[in-house]
Amino acid sequence: MTMTVVTPSHAPDFPSFARLHASVVRFTDPGVRHVVAVPDADIELFRSLKSARLDVRGYSAVLPRRFVSTTALARIPRLPRGFRIAAVNLRRPWPPIRGWMLQQVVKLAVVSELDTDVAVLIDSDVIVVRPLAERAFRNDDGVVRLYRQPHGIDEARERPLRWLRTARALVGAPQPEADGPDYISAFASWDPALVRACVERVAAQTRSDWRDVIGSRLDFSEFLLYGTYVMTLADPSRRQNVSADSLCHSHWDPVPLDRAAATRFADEIGPRDLAVHVQSNSGTGETIRDYISDRVSQVT
């Protein structure tokens, strides 16, 4: 049985990623690889970590050649992060592909190509704080764990509800009436075989390359797509390891943590949490993030 850690990242998140990778190396077995997928322009920066456990993959290695990078445009400073243009698909040039959307396509592509039993998806702004063993993500029957929060998305969460409707449409599942489950997490596990089946389903439903289809979407979540596929179309035996526990203690609030708040946050980590997550757009500084990492190591 094998496990691979996967992280999409880019240059602005490099300090956080370096901290994450150090924690992955510390808390996983020597045979576990950490795959990071980054824009081609950032490859050498991430390789500068010189880690034998790190596999740096550029976007061009996992995307078709018709996806042409527009990296310079993607980093126009005044554009909201989620709307910065990252690429143009020459087959479908409009709309151009936003950075956030391209990262999701890359994540699905990377995991679909893995020859491994479990892919553990960890965002750059996460720190692993306890040992990661494959048994935490697979049950005795070999079913990979799926994070699922029942009724986690309702009409009050308008944007995620659009993502959920898009996911259901792409795989041909019934649309939710008033609410639906949430599968989004900064720390999650996927079954690569099911990811392959999921994207093949999208291609069959749309009669198009799934990368073209997803890249052209304005409302989309890769987690909602995968979770929806598993729970509505996968073999029922692959749905027997579902939990509402993310195994990650998270700070999702966009307000930055100061030293006092960081102390409270670190001290509140649960006994089952394997990682801590401070949302990158919270504005929490690197010094505070280092402090949280040190503090959590004392608590755990």
Mean of the pLDDT values across residues 87-96? Answer: 81
Determine the pLDDT at residue 177. 67
Mean pLDDT of the chain: 90
Q: Give yes or no for a contact between 278 and 294, defined as CB atoms under 8 angstroms apart.
A: no
pLDDT digits (tens, 9 = 90+) for 234-257: 999 999 999 999 999 999 888 899
What is the DSSP secondary-structure string of 44-111? HHHHTT--TTEEEEEGGGTS-TTEEE-HHHHT-TTS-GGG-EEEEETTEEEEEEEHHHHHHHHHHHHH
Q: Per-residue pLDDT for 76 more than 70?
A: no
pLDDT beyond 80 at 112 = yes
In this predicted structure, the answer to whether residue 72 has a pLDDT above a threshold of 80 is no
pLDDT tens for 143-189 read: 999 999 998 998 778 889 999 999 999 999 988 767 789 999 999 99
pLDDT, residue 80, reads 53
Q: What per-residue confidence (pLDDT) applies to 78?
A: 55
The structural domains of the chain, ordered by start, are 3-246 (3.90.550), 247-300 (no CATH)
pTM of the model: 0.91
Q: Which of 74-88, 174-188, 263-277 is the most confident on average?
A: 263-277
* CA–CA separation, 190 and 234 (whole Å): 13
- pLDDT value of residue 77: 55
pLDDT recorded at residue 55:
97
Mean pLDDT for 95-116 is 92
Pick from 117, 93, 89, 109: nearest CA to 3: 117
Whether 82 has a pLDDT exceeding 50, the answer reads: no
**What is the spatial distance between Cα 216 and Cα 150, in angstroms, rounded to a whole number?**
28
DSSP state of 117: S
Q: What is the pLDDT of residue 13?
A: 93
Confidence check: pLDDT of 280 > 50 = yes
User: 94: pLDDT confidence band, cut at 50, 70 and 90?
Assistant: confident
